[in-house]
Amino acid sequence: MAAWSKPIRLSEVRGPQAYELAPDASQRAKIAKDLGLVGLPAFTAQVTVRPWLDGAEIAGRFEAVVEQESAVSLEAFEQPLSGAIDVRVVPQGSPNAAPASGELELDPDAADPPDVLESDVIDLAAYATEHLALEIDPFARKPGEAFAFDAPPEPDSPFAVLKKLKGEGP
Protein backbone atom coordinates (compact mmCIF):
# COMPACT_ATOMS: atom_id res chain seq x y z
CA MET A 1 0.00 0.00 0.00
CA ALA A 2 1.22 3.48 -0.83
CA ALA A 3 2.39 5.75 1.96
CA TRP A 4 0.01 8.47 0.80
CA SER A 5 -2.82 8.48 -1.72
CA LYS A 6 -5.21 11.01 -3.24
CA PRO A 7 -7.24 9.12 -5.86
CA ILE A 8 -9.61 10.73 -8.34
CA ARG A 9 -11.55 9.02 -11.10
CA LEU A 10 -10.65 9.83 -14.68
CA SER A 11 -14.35 9.68 -15.54
CA GLU A 12 -15.01 12.57 -13.11
CA VAL A 13 -12.57 14.98 -14.82
CA ARG A 14 -14.88 17.28 -16.76
CA GLY A 15 -13.12 20.64 -16.42
CA PRO A 16 -10.16 22.14 -14.57
CA GLN A 17 -10.14 21.02 -10.95
CA ALA A 18 -7.62 22.37 -8.42
CA TYR A 19 -6.29 20.27 -5.55
CA GLU A 20 -4.09 21.13 -2.56
CA LEU A 21 -2.25 18.07 -1.34
CA ALA A 22 -0.51 17.76 2.02
CA PRO A 23 0.33 14.46 3.73
CA ASP A 24 0.08 14.32 7.52
CA ALA A 25 3.10 13.64 9.76
CA SER A 26 2.76 9.83 9.71
CA GLN A 27 2.36 9.82 5.92
CA ARG A 28 5.44 12.07 5.55
CA ALA A 29 7.40 9.64 7.75
CA LYS A 30 6.40 6.73 5.48
CA ILE A 31 7.28 8.72 2.35
CA ALA A 32 10.67 9.61 3.88
CA LYS A 33 11.36 5.95 4.62
CA ASP A 34 10.32 4.91 1.10
CA LEU A 35 12.60 7.54 -0.44
CA GLY A 36 15.59 6.80 1.83
CA LEU A 37 15.44 10.13 3.64
CA VAL A 38 16.13 10.84 7.31
CA GLY A 39 12.90 12.83 7.42
CA LEU A 40 10.39 14.87 5.46
CA PRO A 41 9.45 17.85 7.65
CA ALA A 42 7.26 19.49 4.99
CA PHE A 43 5.62 18.46 1.73
CA THR A 44 2.78 20.12 -0.15
CA ALA A 45 1.61 20.18 -3.74
CA GLN A 46 -0.85 22.27 -5.70
CA VAL A 47 -2.11 20.61 -8.87
CA THR A 48 -4.77 21.25 -11.46
CA VAL A 49 -6.34 18.36 -13.32
CA ARG A 50 -8.01 19.07 -16.64
CA PRO A 51 -9.29 16.97 -19.54
CA TRP A 52 -6.70 16.13 -22.21
CA LEU A 53 -7.73 14.15 -25.31
CA ASP A 54 -9.32 10.99 -23.88
CA GLY A 55 -7.37 11.30 -20.61
CA ALA A 56 -6.25 14.05 -18.26
CA GLU A 57 -3.42 16.50 -17.75
CA ILE A 58 -1.98 17.06 -14.27
CA ALA A 59 -0.01 20.28 -13.83
CA GLY A 60 1.24 22.12 -10.78
CA ARG A 61 4.09 22.48 -8.30
CA PHE A 62 5.34 20.87 -5.12
CA GLU A 63 7.29 22.34 -2.20
CA ALA A 64 9.14 20.21 0.34
CA VAL A 65 11.80 20.24 3.00
CA VAL A 66 13.83 17.03 2.98
CA GLU A 67 16.19 15.84 5.70
CA GLN A 68 19.06 13.84 4.26
CA GLU A 69 22.34 12.37 5.39
CA SER A 70 25.39 14.12 3.95
CA ALA A 71 27.39 11.90 1.61
CA VAL A 72 30.59 13.50 2.98
CA SER A 73 30.16 13.81 6.76
CA LEU A 74 27.17 11.47 7.26
CA GLU A 75 25.49 14.23 9.30
CA ALA A 76 21.78 14.89 8.81
CA PHE A 77 20.75 18.23 7.33
CA GLU A 78 17.62 19.82 5.89
CA GLN A 79 17.20 21.46 2.52
CA PRO A 80 14.23 22.86 0.62
CA LEU A 81 13.17 21.32 -2.69
CA SER A 82 10.56 22.41 -5.19
CA GLY A 83 9.61 21.44 -8.68
CA ALA A 84 7.03 21.31 -11.39
CA ILE A 85 4.51 18.54 -11.91
CA ASP A 86 3.52 18.00 -15.53
CA VAL A 87 1.97 14.65 -16.46
CA ARG A 88 -0.57 13.42 -18.96
CA VAL A 89 -2.51 10.21 -18.46
CA VAL A 90 -4.73 8.15 -20.74
CA PRO A 91 -6.87 5.06 -20.15
CA GLN A 92 -5.81 1.59 -21.28
CA GLY A 93 -6.42 1.00 -24.95
CA SER A 94 -6.23 4.70 -25.78
CA PRO A 95 -5.14 5.55 -29.33
CA ASN A 96 -3.17 8.42 -27.74
CA ALA A 97 -0.89 6.11 -25.73
CA ALA A 98 2.69 5.56 -26.85
CA PRO A 99 3.06 2.51 -29.09
CA ALA A 100 3.73 -0.63 -27.05
CA SER A 101 6.08 -2.15 -29.61
CA GLY A 102 8.20 -1.08 -32.52
CA GLU A 103 10.71 1.70 -32.78
CA LEU A 104 10.27 4.88 -30.86
CA GLU A 105 11.68 8.18 -32.01
CA LEU A 106 13.04 9.96 -28.98
CA ASP A 107 13.01 13.72 -29.10
CA PRO A 108 14.56 15.23 -25.96
CA ASP A 109 12.61 18.46 -26.52
CA ALA A 110 9.25 16.74 -26.94
CA ALA A 111 6.80 16.20 -24.11
CA ASP A 112 6.89 12.82 -22.38
CA PRO A 113 4.38 10.29 -23.70
CA PRO A 114 1.26 9.97 -21.55
CA ASP A 115 1.14 7.44 -18.73
CA VAL A 116 -1.32 4.62 -19.31
CA LEU A 117 -3.58 4.11 -16.31
CA GLU A 118 -4.18 0.60 -14.99
CA SER A 119 -7.72 1.55 -14.00
CA ASP A 120 -10.00 4.59 -14.00
CA VAL A 121 -8.13 6.01 -10.99
CA ILE A 122 -5.48 8.76 -11.03
CA ASP A 123 -3.44 8.95 -7.82
CA LEU A 124 -2.41 12.61 -7.55
CA ALA A 125 -0.33 11.98 -4.41
CA ALA A 126 1.69 9.30 -6.21
CA TYR A 127 2.56 11.75 -8.99
CA ALA A 128 3.55 14.44 -6.47
CA THR A 129 5.74 11.93 -4.58
CA GLU A 130 7.32 10.70 -7.83
CA HIS A 131 8.26 14.24 -8.82
CA LEU A 132 9.73 14.86 -5.35
CA ALA A 133 11.80 11.68 -5.67
CA LEU A 134 13.21 12.90 -8.99
CA GLU A 135 14.48 16.11 -7.36
CA ILE A 136 16.31 14.44 -4.45
CA ASP A 137 20.10 14.47 -4.78
CA PRO A 138 21.27 10.91 -4.04
CA PHE A 139 24.72 12.22 -3.00
CA ALA A 140 23.67 15.35 -1.14
CA ARG A 141 26.17 17.43 0.81
CA LYS A 142 25.56 19.93 3.57
CA PRO A 143 25.98 23.50 2.31
CA GLY A 144 29.65 24.48 2.40
CA GLU A 145 30.87 20.91 2.69
CA ALA A 146 33.53 19.72 0.28
CA PHE A 147 34.86 16.27 -0.38
CA ALA A 148 38.62 16.20 0.18
CA PHE A 149 40.38 13.44 -1.69
CA ASP A 150 44.06 12.70 -1.23
CA ALA A 151 45.29 10.45 -3.99
CA PRO A 152 47.48 7.61 -2.81
CA PRO A 153 51.16 7.92 -3.79
CA GLU A 154 51.95 6.51 -7.20
CA PRO A 155 53.38 3.01 -6.70
CA ASP A 156 56.87 2.35 -7.98
CA SER A 157 57.09 0.62 -11.30
CA PRO A 158 58.37 -2.97 -11.26
CA PHE A 159 61.65 -1.81 -12.82
CA ALA A 160 62.22 0.81 -10.10
CA VAL A 161 61.67 -1.88 -7.46
CA LEU A 162 64.26 -4.11 -9.18
CA LYS A 163 66.78 -1.25 -9.24
CA LYS A 164 66.26 -0.72 -5.51
CA LEU A 165 66.79 -4.43 -4.85
CA LYS A 166 70.04 -4.39 -6.87
CA GLY A 167 71.20 -1.28 -5.03
CA GLU A 168 71.26 0.83 -8.19
CA GLY A 169 68.39 3.16 -7.40
CA PRO A 170 67.67 5.86 -4.83
Helix (H, G, I), strand (E, B) or coil at 142: coil
Residue 128 inside a domain? The answer is yes
For residues 66 and 83, the answer to whether their CB atoms sit within 8 Å is no
**106 is a domain residue:** yes
Supply the pLDDT for residue 97. Answer: 85
- In this structure, is residue 66 part of a structural domain? yes
1 found inside a domain: no
pLDDT reading at 4 higher than 70: yes
- For 22-49, the pLDDT digits (tens) are 999 999 999 999 999 999 999 999 999 9
Which domain covers residue 46, as residue numbers? Answer: 7-145
Kindly report, residue by residue over 105-150, the tens digit of the pLDDT.
777 887 788 999 999 999 999 999 999 999 999 999 998 888 777 7
Alpha carbon separation from 7 to 11, 61, 102, 116 (Å, rounded): 12, 18, 32, 15
160 belongs to a structural domain: no
Residue 156 lies inside a defined structural domain of this protein: no
127-164 as b/e, with b when 16 or more CB fall inside 10 Å? Answer: bbbebbeeeeeeebbbeeeeeeeeeeeeeeeeeeeeee
d(Cα 15, Cα 134) in Å, to the nearest integer?
28
Domain membership flag for residue 150: no
- Which is it for the CA torsion 124, 125, 128, 129, positive or negative? negative
| Number of domains present in the structure of the chain | 1
Let me know if residue 72 belongs to a domain.
Answer: yes
Q: How many C-beta atoms surround the C-beta of residue 11 within 10 A?
A: 9
Whether residue 170 is predicted with pLDDT greater than 60 in this model: the reply is: no
